[in-house]
Amino acid sequence: MSKKTPSGRTKGADAMAALQAANEELRAKLTDIQIELQQEKNKVSKLEREKSQEVRHEQHKSAVVVTELKAKLHEEKVRELHGVRETLLRQHESELLRVIKIKDGEIQRLQALVNALRDGSADKVKTALMAEAREEARRGFDLERTRLQQEISELKGVKRQMEEALNVAVQADKTKAAEIRSVYHLHQEEIGRIKKECEREIRRLVQQLDEKDARRFQLKIAELSSIIRKLEDRNALLSEERNELLKRLREAESQYKPLLDKNRRLSRKNEELAHAFRRMENKLRFVTQENIEMREKVGTLRRPSSLNDLDQSQEEREIEFLRLQVLEQQNIIDDLSKERDMLLRYRRQDPIRRRRSFKACKPVVETFYGYDEEGSIDSDGSSISYHTDRTPCTPDDDLEEGMLKEETELRFRQLTMEYQALQRAYALLQEQVGGTFDAEKEVKTREQLQLELNRYQTRIADLERVLSQQGQDVKWIEDKQALYQRNQELVEKLKHMETEEVRLKLEIQDAKDQNELLEFRILELEERERRSPGMNFQNIHFIEGMSPLQVYCEAEGVTDIIITDLMKKLDILGDNANLSNEEQVAIIHARTVLTLSEKWLEQVEVTKSAIQQKMMDIESEKELFSKQKGYLDEELDYRKQSMDQANKVNGSQSQIHIYLIKPCFLFLFLFFSLAFILWS
């Protein structure tokens, strides 16, 4: 792994720009092909849906025709029954009139017989009455028998006619059902043929797409092979520049040795100043306490009322002495407060400078795809200090020698790899620029780099001073605060998600209530249609707790209500010319309610799916937050322990840390210089 500056990383990333662009083009083409395939699939599915809809429409038409035929047959039967009923009523009325006339004649005859009986004897009357009664009964029985025989013959004729009409209707229904069955089979065959054609077309399209993908991938492989050859040429060119950079690095290391000694002396001086600052703080605290005590003592002193001049003069001298002592200590307190303010101001400015320097000196790691900014094992900064803080303390000389050997070996490997990469980048830049060289620009860039070197040296001194004064406490405290803040954010987010969950549950309940209200309105409209006086429907008794729609669905084996089918049926009912105005208005109202209910149901389904997805996301995020909270708690405990260990680290480790930082700054300076030269 090698380190790069931000500008060097961007320059290295430009070397792979062609590969990434080609990859993006291939991805874009692949997405276009996938979109085309999806469009073709959508077209095929649309054709299948259209065919199925046509078949369903034909089936609905046939069902409507069958229902119309059944209705017509029922109406014809009802008309015939009404006609037979009227004829029978007329015959019965005529028969009643005839019987009434006969009874009137009989009453008159009996009245005459009664009058005759009054004049004749009783025996003759009895015999005559018996004979007449027998004759009358026989005539009445004969008449009734003939009438009943005639009615039976008429009813048999009517029955034969009704049976013939029923046979004709049944035969017509059978022929119509056979026609519908044949049409259904034809439609099924047509659907199967369309499916087979669509499958063949899909296979052909997939084969064409595979062939196109193969050709595109072959072209892409050829392009990538050419790019790899170009990159190999760049590597060969950059290896030469790597050697020159190694020479410059050795010269810079020889120049940095006196700076290292100076940094050690400055670090010791910083430690001495820190100890002096602590002593001054303690002294200031002690002096302020004494000042407060003396002020209290002066306040409690009272002037005696005695006339003894000796005691009065002695008290005045003591008061004067105390005033002088208070003034002296006040001056000392002012001086110490000024020094403390200066040191506090300096401490406030040091972390800002350190953060800026750390931001400017972020390490860069070379990967296969480019340069990445991340910390490695041999990188500078806090990572080395953290690893060294956890290891047991070793003697300064042995530790420095081992670290120097490992550092030199790692630096040599890294520099060789980075030198080759720089040679390749330099060759590429020379090809792009055209190989021009400007001496004035070279001088300006060198002066600018020299100024940057001086600025970085001062920044290194500031960083070393800050590290020697504060150590690693600030970094640990910042990490602790960041972890605590992250934990608080996660807790707040969890509370927000819980409130969102409650709100979504309320929305789901409202949607369910609205859905039930719409179903109730639909059932009311169906009940109103069923009870309308203009419609000649049969009154059907339904079970309690079940609606007519549910009974129909159970009878037909339908589990889902298709609103489009209901709309079609309403259209068929609306086309009926026998409906009254109120019934047509009711059908229009039912159609509007169905359209509104369809929209509401779609919205409810969408909101239901969205709410279910949100609930799943909330549950997953809740689990993730709980896991992250546990991890953060463990990390916080670990950081606390490591911070306690870091406070016990000796000054030798801080010096080693400073010594490891300096080669990184030198390396960054060299990369900045090379980047500015190549960019110019």
pLDDT of residue 586: 74
pLDDT of residue 539: 47
Radius of gyration of the CA atoms of the chain, in A = 55
Q: How far is CA 104 from CA 72, 100, 110, 134, 520, in A?
A: 48, 6, 10, 19, 66
Domain ranges for the chain, please list them.
Answer: 6-237, 492-636
Indicate the range of 31-45, 292-306, 331-345 predicted with least confidence. 292-306
CA distance 415 to 418: 5
Residue 257 has pLDDT above 70, yes or no: yes
Neighbouring residues of 656: CB distance < 8 A, sequence distance ≥ 6:
388, 396, 399, 400, 403
pLDDT of residue 416: 67
Residue 4 has pLDDT above 50, yes or no: no
How does pLDDT run across 375-414, given as a tens digit for each residue? Answer: 333 333 333 333 334 444 444 455 556 555 666 666 677 6
pLDDT of residue 471: 53
* Residue 93 CA neighbour count, 13 Å, CB half: 6
Neighbouring residues of 253: CB distance < 8 A, sequence distance ≥ 6:
663, 666
Average pLDDT over residues 79-89: 86
Among residues of the chain, what percentage have pLDDT more than 70?
56
pLDDT of residue 386: 37
Residue 112 has pLDDT above 70, yes or no: yes
Instruction: Give the bridge partners for 366, in sequence order.
Output: 371
- Sign of the dihedral through C-alpha 533, 534, 535, 538: positive
Average pLDDT over residues 663-671: 59
Residue 667 has pLDDT above 70, yes or no: no
Q: Which of 178-187, 233-242, 351-360, 548-557 has the highest mean pLDDT?
A: 178-187
pLDDT of residue 181: 83
Please indicate whether residue 106 or residue 398 has the higher confidence score (pLDDT).
106
Q: How confident is the model at residue 38 (pLDDT cuts 50, 70, 90)?
A: confident
Q: Are the C-beta atoms of 365 and 4 separated by less than 8 Å?
A: yes
End-to-end CA distance of the chain: 27
How does pLDDT run across 158-209, given as a tens digit for each residue? Answer: 888 888 888 888 888 888 888 888 888 888 888 888 888 878 888 888 888 8
Task: Give phi and psi for 360, each to the nearest 5.
Answer: -75, -25
Q: Which of 408, 460, 465 is nearest to 253 (CA)?
A: 408
Average pLDDT over residues 42-70: 84
pLDDT of residue 383: 37
Indicate the range of 253-267, 321-335, 598-612 predicted with least confidence. 321-335
Cβ neighbours, 10 Å, residue 46: 10
Could you give the 3-state DSSP secondary structure of residue 371? strand
Q: How far is CA 111 from CA 114, 139, 290, 547, in A?
A: 5, 20, 158, 69
Residue 304 has pLDDT above 50, yes or no: no
